[in-house]
Structure 1
């Protein structure tokens, strides 16, 4: 997987205008609520130089962070980047505005299955511009395993007590459910959810720490505290490789979840023009290259990806393999079941 690299700040206005950025500087400021790596200076600095739009970023550690922060009000944020299991709930709550697709010319270059995803559509209108996608695989330190793990069950191995970590997120229930053989992870019955909760409570004494941010998990591996975990595919492994720590990502026998993040415009933003400039930049070759180089994630715009990826990189990230995406359990909105899942996860952590 690609290591974290520093991008050159190539700020030619001519090149940026080709990606639908403004030809003259705007006066504005964008506050975005997003994930680590999505507002890297290597991407933001050229964007600001070309548009005059200053960008400030606040990072989340879970999709559960978006709604509470937007509900706090005050017009703090202009753009949010939630995952596909969270987008629709923000639409229904009125936290985001529909997007005028005529102002985003490259929208039709995005993979059809992303731009037509139910999670970003309502009443014939589009509310999100797909930005990046990938899997939630598992990862282990290569020097700690004589036999490579192939199953989620490795995270329940008593021999690894104190060396295990899981993301501090309700998706831990998806992991346990799959281990129980329940593959309908987004529509678990009360009994199935209780079984997943019980499985996680059983695992609790083995867990060194539930990781909340990408950097926290990286630090746990670097300090030799954690040897195996789930991970944001491509990102943490790249950061660790840059520090000389060899880790291996794998899709377990029980399958893996998939995700897709979209940029959305917060309702009533006073910085609408800058917001649209940002949306266009994010799916241009420059923006897609940024998330690829910094996070190691796959691009939602394959046309743009071909401009900066080698054929080998394009293939390695499954950009030419729709069957791979279809094999993933793409996150879904839990709807009315969200509080039930959330309560179950909180019950696990309270042990």
Structure 2
């Protein structure tokens, strides 16, 4: 993320229902803060002279509720776990894949998953992916201290840790810490164990971070020494000269997530431009930008094949031997339980 995004920080998130970055009036993208950067829509801008107009959300449940309450946009950027809920609420409609040639570059698992593809119709196009692990201040914390996720419960870390203000990421941590590395098979007992663990981790947390820029600020000041973090933050902080480590191979493991775009029903703008935007996002140019500048992966498998192992290791996208929880779509009733319990935990109950 560039300096402009860092300066925006959480203030940008408050503009979730306004066009904070007005550009092409024919396309409104409802997105995470930071994705308005030019590197994500190079080909679109080349054709239309500017990028889309953007509005922002800070968390997917917030985005869902805003859309349910009548907020209108053309395209939105949820992650994989939200698709079933958004589909059931009839917020989304199929993409016309004939207008998105680069869709063919996606891995087969993305193009055949029944949550994303229903009766031959594509409702979700994965675009970006990343890893969540332990970011730590390497001036204060030794590598052996982050060999286990139990560091988040260590009494010596009281008030020095930070957790994501995101139900999926925080529960991914808690499930891993309590022995569940596949949450698609999680039982209510597994959920209870994870919730109990997360409640203990909450007691140690100084703050919940809403985006990578906010976490970077917390770690840059030294307030936070340990965080459950997307790989974006350590990549950026190391680039800015901070000594931040990133541990994905704690003995209990780490997690991987992927997000993408949906075509919102009754969007106010151009359906043609919505499809052009997705084709642009799936380009080699966007893959180069998201890997080199953000440290995230890209769903275009052809484009990802152009990066060497050294580059992927540097940004935290390399293969690991520890367990990896894939943040795949889960049973919707379990996810609703997680959402409710997460709010209780954050409130101190």
TM range (shorter): 0.7 to 0.9
CA contact (8 A) 1:194 1:344 kept: no
User: In the superposition, relative to structure 1, how do residues 216 and 334 fare at CA in structure 2: closer, same or farther (>3 Å)?
Assistant: farther
TM-score under structure 1 normalisation?
Answer: 0.83
Paired residues of 1:302 and 1:319 also in contact (CA < 8 A): no
Residue equivalent to 1:80: 76
1:299 aligns with 2:286: no
Alpha-carbon RMSD = 2.7
Distance 1:290 1:325, change over 3 A: farther
Secondary structure in 1 aligned to 2:36? coil
- Contact kept, 8 Å, 1:137 with 1:257, in 2: the verdict is yes
Aligned to 2:223: 225
Is the CA contact (8 Å cut-off) linking 1:306 and 1:314 kept in structure 2?
no
Matches within 5 A, 1:52-201: 52=49, 54-75=51-72, 77-148=73-144, 149-171=146-168, 172-201=170-199
Structure 2: stretches of 5+ with no match in the other structure: 4-23
Partner residue in 2 for 1:344: 341
Q: How far is the alpha carbon of 1:120 from its aligned partner?
A: 1.4
Q: For the residues of structure 1 that align with 2:260 and 2:322, how far apart are their CA atoms? A: 16
48-57 vs 243-252, greater mean Cα deviation: 48-57
Q: Secondary structure at the match of 1:162?
A: coil
Alignment deviations for residues 91-147 of structure 1 (CA, whole Å, 9 cap, x no partner)? 222111101111111111112222223331112211122211122122111111134
Question: How far apart are the structure 2 equivalents of 1:71 and 1:174?
Answer: 26
Say if 2:205 is the partner of 1:207. yes
For normalisation by structure 2, the TM-score amounts to 0.83
Residues 182 and 129 from structure 1, CA distance in 2 versus in 1: closer, same or farther, beyond 3 angstroms? closer
Alignment of 1:7-26 (within 5 A): none
Q: Distance in 1 between matches of 2:227 and 2:139?
A: 15
Q: CA deviation at 1:165?
A: 0.7
Bigger shift: residues 117-126 or 50-59: 50-59
Residue in 1 that maps onto 2:14: none
Runs (5+) with no aligned partner, structure 1: 7-26
SS at match of 1:39: coil
Bigger drift between 279-288 and 117-126 goes to: 117-126
- Residue equivalent to 2:13: none
Superposed displacement of residue 186, structure 1? 4.3
